[in-house]
Structure 1
């Protein structure tokens, strides 16, 4: 099966990319041509379900699409502009214009220009630059070139954006376009081929979705072996069986109140977005009158996936609500805590070693909580905290967080460095330094 690549850009750039892609038989290149960068949004929205990966002709359409939240680093790329690309355009402009001393240039970074100047002798040529990291509207770039030209500070404009090139030409300003080199385009084609093959193997991974009944202390004693409990579980089985059909999976009841669906990662990711996970939880609750939690495990083998789904359910048991927790093949843990699919936290399962595992056995804290605090500390770039701040991170009570911090202090993973007064009244709060 070929990897479907959408090529987005002006007509000449797209044609150049298609010509160089002919030797990559694994790629099916589908052209999408625009006249203005803003048309990128419409192209992606209309064709995103048909495309595996996106190849943008340059920085402008790529970052415009990123700014709209339409693509990510994992499914799109563009060929960067190096000094060699600029050198060819400078030579063309010099020949056609009969020589010049002053020019304006957009997009290309100052560092690339410095490398070019240090590598090649450019004589007395002075280049005024307008460098930017992501996306700038064409109007801003045109204004930059036009102002310098009208003030007599430049004789030629060099641009990396087709729309800017065409508009400046219409206004009578000598303008030449810098385009990616064949080497840069081929590097992106190789990257997309490898990324596409990697995604294909990833989608073929085993995925197991586990649903577990959340028992209260009373229900565990009173209903565990009653006929009523079995009737409720039959209702859950019906819900899970319907979902197994939807994701082309195999349904298995593992034990009392525990159900697995075996499928592939591709099917799970296509059908099982976070919002639908919560819909499934609500549907199970409506039909069976039972609260449930969901864990998802991914793995290269069925054994790995089953270990990970059990780990996901173990993490889910530590939460107050009925969250959805997933664990992938690298032990990356994701907790999805809202019905809108907001990913609350994602962190790596930490391997503590035998000595620490032994110490945690006698501790009143789960190693998973410590891993989460470590991740959040790095995320917020903060290792001086109070129990109140930790309670906001973990979304639990301040009292519970005080207990957690006291246990971290006892284990040597946190140290009291002082106290702070929250207001005119109340007891001072301990300030801790995390030693994770």
Structure 2
């Protein structure tokens, strides 16, 4: 069955989306065309058969935001970012064959304007900006009034707007104006996100896994060793493409040179089975000439797993070596994985025999289990899977280990939306 994506946008933008969709055999789009972004709120009611909602303009999403939130609809917004501003400024310069030093812009998020200011060194120019993302509700008239006042005061010569409706207002006022054009890469990334979101939503109830991978110190490396850096980015992408196929995970590459891996059970199983020896990290270390940061986040929904992945990535960045951490849904940090930890197996065996009263076979099996997991926290369910025994049998072993003071409760995990959380245990050493 094909994924149905409701696309809200202007006719020319939806036509572009149609061309990019052709490479996806599993996607079908249902276009919802408008001239005024405000009508999107009503259009949503007619898209109830769709799997995900794709908004091509931030203003239209702003109008629909409350309804999207209330109905808990899966939604993606095409990025209106610094890349769109930069490419629009470049096209404006080509059109006028000169720099425009007195202009005003409007955009959803002011941070993108700040990034452009740093990139182009706006200090010698008169650039005014309006961020409508901070407004309580979208207001076309308010944005248009901002530009008009600057024009009336003689402070600007041109307006660059992220909204076609604002562009129309400026033309009515006789003010020189252009609307920013959404770059192809922004549209493609949004389509990919919408497709990924649908795949993830088909795994309702299970933990989601988001992974971030990047080359360390990218700004310094990018400036000093451009050619080597680009070669390493290419090699890293090939490795991650193969890893994604092995773990049924989706891979994307964002503009900040972060690779993003998103998956569910198979990816989680792979991570948990390789706490001590992580083949992906080993392959990256042996192939690339630069160290990397890698972090995975677990969560019951995409936003939670993404936030935890960023925490894990930040933890990895504190060290100059290539490291990988996992942050679970309770924000417990696991790792670094793939690096063997020293475990005193002799003392552990003694405790298992004399304190927990396990027989030799169970003791050896438990040592194998702890060693294989690199002494990371575990649940009784993990023991049942490793030993290939019933959950009840695993719980009996756990109770003996607790009674013998060999292990202690270290936390809990919630791998499913429904049901009680599982207790996690760790060695009491």
The TM-score range, normalised by the shorter chain, is 0.3 to 0.5
Give the number of the structure whose alpha-carbon radius of gyration is greater: 1
TM-score, normalised by the number of residues in structure 2: 0.46
